[in-house]
Amino acid sequence: MNLHETTKSNHPPRRAFIGALGSAAAAASLSASQAQQAAAGKRIGVGLIGCGGRGSYLGRLTQQLGQQGEPVELVAVCDVYRPRLERAAKKYSVKPYGDASELVRDPNVDAVIVAAPDRLHAFHSLMAVRSGKAVYSEKPTCHWQQFDKLKELVQEVRRTGMIFQMGTQRLADKIWRQAAEVIRRGDIGKPVHVQMGYFRRGDSGERGMPVDDPNARPGPDLNWDAFLADAPSRPFTPSRFFQWRMYMDYSGGPCTDNDVHFLALMIKALGVKFPKHVVALGGKYIYNGEREVPDTFDMIFEYPEGLNLTFLGTYGNDHGLDTVVRGTEATLRFGDSDAEVEPLQGSTKRRRTLARFDVNVEHLRDFFQCVQTKQKPQGDIDLAYYTQVALIMAMRSFVERKVATFDPANERIELI
């Protein structure tokens, strides 16, 4: 097979790319339920969409799991940047695609890992689900401007019953399942206040993203229209393409890039769903220049259960903040290697310690095992929905400098 022939014509206009969702569904040879049944009990063929740093890492983990005896095999890769696609196809000895809608129609692909930029997560996930494929989608589930697309994805996963796993790998740490049980049993009383944070020094996660080729330009080797998807039309620059986490059109900065990991953990442990009110403040206090996303970002979530969750963070200082759940009877405090329940003075609750667990490969393993067993994965579509709504509300509050509210009956975000 000639790689150039496979990918040279895969540069549809943006309208065609967005419309490919429908064509991918129509062209699928199996219904969603049939495809998922076919994947159960046999080796799972995996397609990787997005071959950058994170995608390459997940590709390696998939191969590692296969070598460890899990019934999985990487069979296809896709990327809109040909040099990156060629490297991945050669490295993994798999079939290359320049168009994600073609990869999801490949009958050898049973499950799809979505590791493209944030703006494309919901599009690629929808393509895969409608073609009968299980989905492991990197966080965030969608871009912060895509609330309607998020709801469409949630509805489609629920309708088809396809396996969906949100790529917040720390969910695999059993300490969070233990924490959820502690809270559910009432060991800390009623949870009333949570503090969390993410702190680091430097903007290496954004400005430090490598520029593969400073002379790269849109054309046969780089499909700029497919990268933009439904984002505002902008002139191409190598930085926008290779260092996309610096720009609000494609990323949300700390909120959607790092904070999402920890927020998802706490939402699941607490058993809450949608916040009632969200306030977020921050800005570019340290790193400016071409960077658009904030480097300092603080959020407060008020939940209808009578609980405030505060999440603080900056990229200007790496002095951390303890993760703490304050209850009316005890405090649940998370450390680097364990967590402790610390009863309040006069409480009858007992002190106990919870142990941590390695998550490097277990979250992906959980996904593949659920494709086989059809059990609900630990980062299922409901948790993805609750988490993403909270993130979108925070980003809307930050951008519009208002309080974000959520109407659960009508699934609507409003700003006041």
Mean pLDDT for the stretch of residues 128-152: 98
Q: 351: exposed, middle or buried (C-beta count within 10 Å: 0-12, 13-18, 19+)?
A: exposed
| Dist. CA 361–CA 2, nearest whole Å | 34
pTM exceeding 0.85: yes
| Dist. CA 215–CA 224, nearest whole Å | 14
Q: Are 126 and 116 in contact (CB under 8 A)?
A: no
* pLDDT at res. 220: 95
| Dist. CA 276–CA 393, nearest whole Å | 10
* pLDDT at res. 9: 39
Who contacts 99 (Cβ-Cβ below 8 Å, separation ≥6)? 7, 10, 12, 20, 78, 226
* pLDDT at res. 35: 52
pLDDT confidence of 22, banded at 50, 70, 90? low
Q: Are 142 and 118 in contact (CB under 8 A)?
A: yes
* pLDDT at res. 352: 75
DSSP string for 78-91: E-SBHHHHHHHHHH
- For residue 304 the two structure tokens come to 């209808």
Helices 381-400 and 147-160 cross at an angle (nearest 10°) of 170
- CA angle, 215 then 217 then 218, to 5°: 170
pLDDT confidence of 240, banded at 50, 70, 90? very high
Tell me how far apart the terminal alpha carbons of the chain are, to the nearest angstrom: 57
Question: 384 pLDDT exceeds 60?
Answer: yes
Question: 397 pLDDT exceeds 90?
Answer: yes
| Dist. CA 390–CA 274, nearest whole Å | 7
* pLDDT at res. 7: 39
* pLDDT at res. 357: 62
Question: 415 pLDDT exceeds 70?
Answer: yes
pLDDT confidence of 103, banded at 50, 70, 90? very high
* pLDDT at res. 5: 34
* pLDDT at res. 335: 85
* DSSP E strands, 101-232: 111-114, 134-138, 164-167, 191-199
Report the number of secondary-structure helices (H) and strands (E) in the chain.
15, 16
Instruction: Tell which residue, 227, 194, 191, has the closest CA to residue 82.
Output: 227
The CATH class, in words, for 191-205+251-327+381-415 is alpha beta
pLDDT confidence of 3, banded at 50, 70, 90? very low
Each domain of the chain, given as residue ranges in start order, spans: 3-169, 191-205+251-327+381-415
Q: Which CATH architecture has domain 3-169?
A: 3-Layer(aba) Sandwich (3.40)
Task: List, for residues 314-363, the tens digit of each pLDDT value.
Answer: 999 999 999 999 999 999 999 887 889 999 988 888 787 886 666 879 99
Question: 136 pLDDT exceeds 90?
Answer: yes
Residue 162 φ then ψ, to 5°: -70, 150
pLDDT confidence of 41, banded at 50, 70, 90? low
